[in-house]
Amino acid sequence: MANGVLLALFDDLAPVTGVVERLREMGLSDDRVAVLSSVPYEPQMLGRPRVRDPMPRVALLGAILGLATAISLLAATFLLYPLTQGGQPIVPIPPSLIIIFEITMLGTMWTTFFGFFVVNRLPPFGEPVYDSRITLGKIGIVVRPEQSQMLDVEEVLRDAGAGDLRQLPRSARADKRAWTRFAVAVVAVLVAAAGASLLFFYDVISVPFPSNMVQQASVAFEQGPRRAAPAAAIPVQGPVLIADEPASQPVPANDASLQRGEVLFGIDCVICHGASGTGNGSLSGFFSPKPADLTGEDVQGSADADIFLVISQGRGSMPSLAENLSVVDRWDVVNFVHSLSR
């Protein structure tokens, strides 16, 4: 193992290539020899092998990881929660392409960002081997020989015309072990933070956040009670019913309402439930189970509010008729349905 570092300074580029070649012939690998210059010379001009930039491969790895993550998230989401709409595939391709592109780019950018620090071993620890005169035009050669090669390497550097040759202690080198400990510590902190976040995610640790919106009394969708309208108010939407609580009274079952209900029943309901309401309409054979028998005890024993909600929202294979019938029309149909058993 090397016990010291040699730093030689040259006035020009001419002897550098020969020095590097002689050191290579002595058995020193390329990772033990470095050339420092303020001018961006090509590696071939310095007798050095061409350095392959690993960042493109790091970016490609990030793109692959991002693509795999995007496909996994999309496939898992749609397969775990399948929604079949209009005969479309479970995994919709056009919108999925946008999500795949975004996550792939995020994987590329994040991997490139962190990969830059890993590849360049940033932040650096220890005192790097350098001389301020290199900034002013000098060319430095840094050699890390074995102890047995130290004198021979010094002789090669002096013979090549090194203007200044110094042997630096080993402590002057950048401490790679310190960087490794730093990287391990960063990974450990990230893993610990991720594990701690799971405790909050699964409510193992709960932190109460006061919120007046949560503590105040509220009424959810289609839940009661509702506040009654002022006495002189006229509901814009007409009579409605929410969770068995009408905003206004249902339409009375008088002769006019029954007559309107019979006409509307013949337009919107006969095709499935039949003229008598027994569920034998012309389309009844296409349904399984068949349309309900409106003259049976199940329907006739139901409250007006329940029948109104079925007509408004639909149930099972029966669609909602809210677009076909106004609120008043639905109450007329409810009155007519209850008259079928008479």
Mean pLDDT of the chain: 82
pLDDT at residue 40, rounded to an integer: 86
DSSP-derived secondary structure for 179-207: HHHHHHHHHHHHHHHHHHHHHHHTTSS--
Three-state DSSP at 5 gives strand
Percent of the chain with pLDDT over 90: 24
Mean pLDDT on 287-292: 86
For residue 143, the surrounding DSSP H or E stretch is strand 139-143
DSSP-derived secondary structure for 6-18: EEEEESSSHHHHH
pLDDT at residue 284, rounded to an integer: 85
* Number of CB atoms found within 10 A of residue 277's CB: 24
This prediction has a pTM of 0.45
Q: Quick: pLDDT tens for 255-277.
A: 999 999 999 999 999 999 998 88
Percent of the chain with pLDDT over 70: 83
Paired residues of 33 in beta bridges: 143
pLDDT of residue 324 exceeding 70, the answer is: yes
Residue 155 vs residues 19, 37, 152: alpha-carbon distances, Å: 11, 22, 5
First to last CA, the chain: 107
pLDDT at residue 65, rounded to an integer: 95
241-339: CATH topology is Cytochrome Bc1 Complex; Chain D, domain 2 (1.10.760)
Cβ burial of 62 (10 Å; 0-12, 13-18, 19+) is buried
Is the Cβ–Cβ distance between 63 and 104 less than 8 Å? yes
Q: Range(s) for CATH 1.10.760.10 in the chain?
A: 241-339
Residue 116 vs residues 53, 120, 153: alpha-carbon distances, Å: 11, 6, 34
Among the listed residues 188, 329, 183, the one whose alpha carbon sits nearest the alpha carbon of residue 263: 329
* Number of CB atoms found within 10 A of residue 227's CB: 8
Mean pLDDT on 333-342: 85
pLDDT at residue 267, rounded to an integer: 92
- Who wins on pLDDT, 232 or 184? 184
Q: Quick: pLDDT tens for 223-243.
A: 656 666 666 665 555 445 444
Residue 316 vs residues 158, 195, 296, 310: alpha-carbon distances, Å: 95, 45, 18, 10
Q: Quick: pLDDT tens for 45-101.
A: 877 777 788 999 999 999 999 999 999 988 888 888 777 666 667 777 888 899 999
Mean pLDDT on 302-324: 86
Among the listed residues 299, 290, 279, 281, the one whose alpha carbon sits nearest the alpha carbon of residue 339: 299
